[in-house]
Amino acid sequence: MNKLLISIYKEMLLLKRDMGGLVILFIMPLCLVITITLIQDSTFKTATQSKIPILLVDNDKGEVSKMVQKNLAGNDSFSVITQSNGKNIDEAFAKEKVFDGDYQLAIIIPEGLSSGLKTKVEENVAKIMEGLGATDSVTAAKPQKITPKEVRLYFDPASQTAFKTAVKSTVDKMISQIETKSIYDAFSEQLGEESTAAFKQESYISFKEIVPMFDNKEQVPNSTQHNVPAWTLFAMFFIVVPLSINLVKEKNQGTQVRLRTNPVSYATVIGGKTVTYLIICMLQFFLMLATGMFIFPKIGLPILELNGTFFMMSLVALFSGLAAIGFGILLGTVAKTQEQSAPFGATSVVILAAVGGVWVPVFAMPEIMQYVAKASPMNWGLEAFYDVLLRNNSIAEVWPLLLALFLFFIGMIGLSIIYDEKKRAI
Amino acid sequence: MSSTIIEIQSLSKKYKDADFFSVDDLSLSVKKGEIFGLLGPNGAGKTTLISMLCGLIKPTSGSFTIDGLSYKNDAKAIKKIIGVVPQEYALYPTLTAYENLMYFGSMYGLKGKDLKQRINDSLDFLGLLKFADKQIETFSGGMKRRVNLIAGLLHEPAVLFLDEPTVGVDVQSRNVIIEYLKQINQRGTTIIYTSHHLAEAQDLCSTIAIIDTGKVIIKGAPEEIIEVTKNAHSLEDVFLSLTGNELRDE
């Protein structure tokens, strides 16, 4: 026990003497979580507060295009531009501006869209009314040949898929509403003024998001609730880099040789490092929580609300830290130089984060990657954090993930010992 | 000076992918209380032999005992009675001399006042007491060598392995180190010592073995082996006579 305590003290001294490294261990994760949350929060605000300018080319000049313009003007996300230098813009101009990246989007409404839609709907309604015997077949209009119209969208090639999908969905919904309204109007016209009161055009079906309850209060997850656990985990895994460098340095300095000839077990040496770096991981974690709770509200970000999950969150952080340390010890054992361990450590943490769902949710990944994600310890840690913080799950539901993280740690240490033994037998 | 403390029997080591044995069927015995000099040109197998005796690498074949103990059954007991001073400065550069020695002394189970007393005495003897609280990275090569030596000696081992303990140090530092080694030998520590300083070895060692290509080619007291070697007046003459003048690049 004394040897373990002395080993921990020695590791603490080594970290203390590298004040620059120690500051980086705490400051960089803070910068990371604040920057990412600010970006994600401002992205959200961009979509709701500041408007994206879009070009609208109105070749229709009818009821439909007026309605499209009205709907777009009423949308919080867009500001509509129809003129340039006092002249109405045309499709060629819009295409050039969008493809040059000056605008994100242009919507081209084709000529004759209103009249075409009106004719098409009226014909269909008339057919239905005729089938119901509500009109005289003799008076029904002769069908005209109507060419289907397309509303054209031009996107800046640099636009992200998520933005394009959101815009397409909005435009699609708008067109559906216009078509529906046209059908109602056509029926109204056919049935006469008195009957129109029966048509209520408000949506019958609506939806409501039901969120988990904490202490009988609904908690709507915000960007902080998502970002703090995710980026804390990411930062904690970066402990791999200094820890592996620490081990490589011991090899290169010769202190590892001396320790091997001392009557001290490898478990004690590794134990000293594990405890020390686990303390660092936990301090990082508490610092990030404190940042989310006390600094975020002061810089206009949503507050991190733990809702009584502090102990469980700390437990998840502890096991995640162990997994990261296990990986760091294996890397430091295998690597011969710092040039090997540092870039490999940093890159592999980024890969584990990407695979683990820190950036892109696992459900949005291709099927094969979803299987790969399940093998990432960062995914286990992230799921455990979300289970506790967002899904209000108890230890009974989270323990398999904690066990997986712990087994990963044991596995990594086991591999390190086996590798070390094999190297000594050279 | 009669009983054997190290007994080596047919010890061999061939590294993976090597096409020769670094230590080849080597048998040797070291008596308790000796200062045993292990000499040889570069690549002769000295460091490999010491590494096996210190438990750092495993032999390909053969066996050895230290004070009747073998690594197979008594690794921890052996580690308690041996001290190792590697060729490189096996110290933490950002820790002070005192912190390094406290740490390595604690790993031998030493603690409290006893450990502090041993550290202070050793630092004092080697002229480093006033630098005890300075970080190792600020030390000169000679100062680092002296701290390196103390780190392997704090627990007063029965057997001390020294791999070129005076390489790269000035004459003053070397004299202090040699004096210190003689003193701890007088207190009963057996010393196994490798060096390229043949005059130093001749002065310090009670027994010398010259090894080449992994085999012992001569062993005895320095004056004996000088006497039996034709036209030799010093250990250097013996060395060159037995190992030749060819360059040995490792």
ipTM of the shown complex: 0.87
Cα–Cα distances in angstroms (integers) from residue A246 to residues A88, A200, A288, A422, B136, in the given order: 67, 72, 24, 21, 17
Per the CB < 8 Å rule, is A261 touching B54? yes
Helices (DSSP H) in B15-57: which residue ranges?
Answer: 46-53
DSSP code, position B164? S
Q: How many residues does chain A have?
A: 426
Examine residue A204 and state whether it is found in any structural domain, yes or no: no
| B95: contact with A, CB 8 A cutoff | yes
Q: How far is A239 from chain B (nearest CA, A)?
A: 20
pLDDT of residue B190: 95
pLDDT of residue B113: 93
Examine residue A208 and state whether it is found in any structural domain, yes or no: no
| Same-domain pairing of A104 and A150 | yes
User: What's this model's pTM, rounded to 2 decimal places?
Assistant: 0.78
Domains of chain A: total: 2
3-state class of B218 per DSSP?
A: strand
Chain A residue numbers with beta carbons less than 8 Å from the beta carbon of B15 are 426
Whole-angstrom distance, CA of residue B84 vs CA of residue B121: 19
| Same-domain pairing of A352 and A237 | yes
pLDDT of residue A138: 52
Res B119 pLDDT > 80: yes
Whole-angstrom distance, CA of residue A55 vs CA of residue A396: 54
Q: B248 falls in which pLDDT band (50, 70, 90)?
A: low
Examine residue A231 and state whether it is found in any structural domain, yes or no: yes
| B219: contact with A, CB 8 A cutoff | no
| Same-domain pairing of A262 and A156 | no
Examine residue A407 and state whether it is found in any structural domain, yes or no: yes
Per the CB < 8 Å rule, is B95 touching A13? yes
Per the CB < 8 Å rule, is A263 touching B111? no
Among candidates A8, A15, A12, A22, which has minimal Cα distance to A270? Answer: A8
Query: How many C-beta atoms lie closer than 10 Å to residue B129's C-beta?
Result: 16
Chain A residue numbers with beta carbons less than 8 Å from the beta carbon of B105 are none
Q: Three-state SS string across chain A, please?
A: CHHHHHHHHHHHHHHHHCHHHHHHHHHHHHHHHHHHHHHHHHHHHHHHCCCEEEEEEECCCCHHHHHHHHHHHHCCCEEEECEECCEECCHHHHHHHHHCCCCCEEEEECCCHHHHHHHHHHHHHHHHHHHCCCCCCCCCCCCCCCCCCCCEEEECCCCCHHHHHHHHHHHHHHHHHHHHHHHHHHHHHHHCHHHHHHCCCCCCCCCCCCCCEECCEECCCCHHHHHHHHHHHHHHHCCHHHHHHHHHHHHHHCHHHHHHHCCCCHHHHHHHHHHHHHHHHHHHHHHHHHHHHHHHHHHCCCCCCCCCCHHHHHHHHHHHHHHHHHHHHHHHHHCCCHHHHHHHHHHHHHHHHHHHCCCCCHHHCCHHHHHHHCCCHHHHHHHHHHHHHCCCCCHHHHHHHHHHHHHHHHHHHHHHHHHHHHHHCC
3-state class of B117 per DSSP?
A: helix
| Same-domain pairing of A233 and A381 | yes
- CA B120-B82-A252 angle, 5° bins: 80
Per the CB < 8 Å rule, is B107 touching A263? yes
Average pLDDT over residues B33-50: 90
**Are the CB atoms for B125 and B180 separated by under 8 Å?**
yes
Per the CB < 8 Å rule, is A260 touching B152? no
| Same-domain pairing of A251 and A386 | yes
List the structure tokens of A21: 């490294």
Q: A274-290 pLDDT, tens per residue?
A: 999 999 999 999 999 99
Cα–Cα distances in angstroms (integers) from residue A97 to residues A91, A132, A347, in the given order: 10, 51, 39
Q: How far is B91 from chain A (nearest CA, A)?
A: 6
| Same-domain pairing of A228 and A377 | yes
| A254: contact with B, CB 8 A cutoff | yes
3-state class of B70 per DSSP?
A: coil
Among candidates B23, B22, B29, B25, which has minimal Cα distance to B6? Answer: B29
| Same-domain pairing of A269 and A399 | yes
pLDDT of residue A139: 54
Whole-angstrom distance, CA of residue A63 vs CA of residue A119: 13
| Same-domain pairing of A80 and A169 | yes
| A260: contact with B, CB 8 A cutoff | yes
Q: B104 falls in which pLDDT band (50, 70, 90)?
A: very high
Per the CB < 8 Å rule, is A263 touching B80? yes
Whole-angstrom distance, CA of residue B36 vs CA of residue B26: 16
| Final residue in a domain of this structure, among A138, A166, A198 | A198
| Same-domain pairing of A79 and A186 | yes
Chain A residue numbers with beta carbons less than 8 Å from the beta carbon of B107 are 3, 6, 259, 262-264
3-state class of B81 per DSSP?
A: helix
Examine residue A206 and state whether it is found in any structural domain, yes or no: no
Mutate to test the interface with A, among B79, B92, B136, B138 (most CBs of A within 10 A): B92
Strand B23-31 versus strand B35-39 pairing type: unpaired
**Are the CB atoms for A269 and B106 separated by under 8 Å?**
no
Among candidates B38, B55, B35, which has minimal Cα distance to B46? Answer: B38
Query: How many C-beta atoms lie closer than 10 Å to residue A33's C-beta?
Result: 26
Containing structural domain, residue A95? 50-198
Chain A residue numbers with beta carbons less than 8 Å from the beta carbon of B95 are 10, 13-14, 17
Chain A residue numbers with beta carbons less than 8 Å from the beta carbon of B55 are 260-261
Q: How far is A225 from chain B (nearest CA, A)?
A: 40
Mean pLDDT for chain B overall: 89
Whole-angstrom distance, CA of residue A375 vs CA of residue A406: 14
| Final residue in a domain of this structure, among A141, A165, A198 | A198
Non-local CB neighbours of A241 within 8 Å, separated by 6+ positions: A328, A341, A342, A345, A346, A349
pLDDT of residue B250: 52
Per the CB < 8 Å rule, is A3 touching B107? yes
Q: How far is A318 from chain B (nearest CA, A)?
A: 27
| Same-domain pairing of A163 and A282 | no
Chain B residue numbers with beta carbons less than 8 Å from the beta carbon of A424 are 56-58
**Are the CB atoms for B214 and B44 separated by under 8 Å?**
yes
| Final residue in a domain of this structure, among A198, A224, A251 | A198
User: Which residue on chain B is closest to A425 by alpha carbon?
Assistant: B58
Q: Return the CATH number at A94.
A: 3.40.190
Chains A & B: contacts with CB separation below 8 Å: 78
DSSP code, position B94? T
| Same-domain pairing of A90 and A55 | yes
Examine residue A394 and state whether it is found in any structural domain, yes or no: yes
| A10: contact with B, CB 8 A cutoff | yes
Res B153 pLDDT > 70: yes
Examine residue A203 and state whether it is found in any structural domain, yes or no: no
Which stretches of chain A score pLDDT less than 70? 1, 42-50, 134-144, 192-204, 206, 209-222, 424-426
Whole-angstrom distance, CA of residue A97 vs CA of residue A78: 17
In chain B, the domains with their CATH numbers are 4-215 (3.40.50.300)
Mutate to test the interface with B, among A247, A253, A261 (most CBs of B within 10 A): A261
Per the CB < 8 Å rule, is A257 touching B108? no
| A424: contact with B, CB 8 A cutoff | yes
Examine residue A360 and state whether it is found in any structural domain, yes or no: yes
Whole-angstrom distance, CA of residue A396 vs CA of residue A28: 34
| Same-domain pairing of A54 and A129 | yes
| B109: contact with A, CB 8 A cutoff | yes
Q: How far is A268 from chain B (nearest CA, A)?
A: 10
